């Protein structure tokens, strides 16, 4: 499952609700293991994020209605997608 649209808008929404710093200081391997064990959570979270169509106010609302674990998963997914984008960009 991928986040569609403006990753920067999603990152900004995550940052504005204070979700970035805790994830940066977390054990990403543990969050990733939890994510892989509960793929339905990230699918539901990504669907909710994608339904916002990049609207920052809607993104913030959607994130505030998610549980902490879902927000962590979204933050990790944004980081992963930014990283993959950079990798593809650097190959060309």
DSSP string of 22-34, one letter each residue? HHHTS-HHHHHHH
CA 63, 67, 72 angle in degrees (round to 5)?
A: 75
The band of 41, judged by pLDDT with boundaries at 50, 70 and 90, is very high
The whole-number pLDDT of residue 43 equals: 93
Average pLDDT over residues 27-42: 89
Look up the pTM and report it.
Answer: 0.85
- Whether the per-residue pLDDT at 28 is higher than 70: the answer is yes
Average pLDDT over residues 11-27: 92
Per-residue pLDDT tens over the stretch 54-66: 999 999 999 999 9
Ordered by start, the domain boundaries in the chain are: 7-91
The whole-number pLDDT of residue 89 equals: 66
Average confidence score pLDDT of the chain: 89
């Amino acid at each position: 499952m991928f986040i569609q649209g403006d990753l920067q808008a999603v990152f900004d929404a995550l940052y504005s609700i204070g979700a970035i710093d805790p994830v940066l200081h977390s054990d990403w391997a543990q969050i990733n293991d939890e994510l892989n064990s509960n793929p339905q959570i990230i699918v539901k979270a990504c669907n909710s994020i994608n339904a916002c169509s990049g609207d920052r106010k809607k993104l913030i609302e959607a994130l505030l209605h998610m549980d902490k674990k879902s927000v962590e998963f979204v933050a990790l997914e944004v980081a992963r997608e930014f990283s993959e984008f950079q990798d593809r960009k650097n190959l060309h």
